[in-house]
Amino acid sequence: MAEIRVHCFTSASLAYADRALVLARSLRRHHPDWVLWLCLVDLPPSDFSMHVIEGVFDHVVTAEALDIPHLRAWLFEHDVVEACTAVKGAMLQHILDQGVERVLYLDPDIAVFAPLTEVAERLDGSDLLLTPHLLVPEVTAAGVLDNEIGALKHGIYNLGFIGVSGRTEGRRFARWWADRLYAHCIDDIASGLFTDQRWCDHVPVFFPSTCILRDPGCNVASWNVEHRPLSIDRDGVIRADGAPLRFFHFTKFADVGRLMLERHSVSNSVLDEIMAWYANALATSAPTGLPPGWWVYGRYADGVPILRGDRLLWRKKASLHAAIPDPFALTSRQFAEQVGST
């Protein structure tokens, strides 16, 4: 019987190419035979070479190549984080449509430290895999405020990872998820939404064949590392609360995320070593030639940055969509004039 190949994908803009490359290379180290996909929610500048990225990923699929209705008008509704998240459902469907039997999604700011074979094999008996933000209750008031209440706001499960089978239930989930993300993948905690994560609070109920991974080595991050002490065996295996560290989530590592991790580190600790390794890996993976602040969907035709208020107005005012087929084709002044006259 032929071995089932695992397909892994991530989603990113070119500004996150360094992170996506670190993820892909860390996966390749443990799984050279797995198929790696990048959903690129961006388009490169004319003088930017995609050679390095295309050399690491087996497939690079732009958002514009996915089956997303009214794509450019839809993208205008989202900031870069929302957009890179909102395409995940459509990208999952695209991969499953190739007849793939096991799909893992990993955020671009994740690095893999041990084989994920046992994780992928869970899809033999389950159609969906989720990792909770937390595995144990907090024991301090600060922990409750930061992490337990934080999970209630942002979602019980961290969607930096998800596993999906190619069977009927996995495909049913993919359709449902793609529909919800198309219509409601926004960062609006006050309204009960945080991109894709709050939606997946429903998943264990809507899709009973879901497996909740309680492996402390999966999806270690700033919000749970205090309860998953890191150590290194004599043979070099990194462990989290005694289990092999499978993957670490370096969310928002460039700013607040690193500060949150540093709260849990001590001089010469394993966490310090992991952070130093990741910082160096990012520095050596950054592609050259990308203009600062580049995101092709981040500016009007005159180069003026699109304000979040403009995106929210576009999202709420349906009459603008009929008057403006492609908002990215307008200058900032033209957009303001259209808003004023509609």
Q: Are the CB atoms for 218 and 106 separated by under 8 Å?
A: no
pLDDT value of residue 201: 98
- C-alpha span between 318 and 321 (Å, rounded): 6
pTM for this one? Answer: 0.95
Q: Which domains does the chain have, with CATH numbers?
A: 6-285 (3.90.550.10), 308-341 (no CATH)
The reported pLDDT for the residue numbered 268 is 62
Burial classification of residue 212, based on how many CB atoms lie within 10 Å of its CB (0-12 exposed, 13-18 middle, 19 or more buried): middle
Query: Could you give phi then psi for residue 140, rounded to 5 degrees?
Result: -125, 155
Cβ neighbours of residue 302 closer than 8 Å, sequence gap 6 or more: 331, 332, 333
Residue 225 and residue 134 in contact, taking contact as beta carbons nearer than 8 Å? no
Q: How far apart are CA 223 and CA 256, in angstroms?
A: 12
Q: What is the pLDDT of residue 266?
A: 66
Rounded to an integer, what distance in angstroms lies between the CA atom of residue 165 and that of residue 210? Answer: 10
- pLDDT tens track of the chain, all 342 residues? 456 799 999 999 999 999 999 999 999 999 999 999 999 999 999 999 999 999 999 999 999 999 999 999 999 999 999 999 999 999 999 999 999 999 999 999 999 999 999 999 999 999 999 999 999 999 999 999 999 999 999 999 999 999 999 999 999 999 999 999 999 999 999 999 999 999 999 999 999 999 999 999 999 999 999 999 999 999 899 999 999 999 999 998 888 777 778 777 666 699 999 999 999 999 999 888 899 899 999 999 999 999 999 999 999 988 898 889 899 999 999 999 988 877
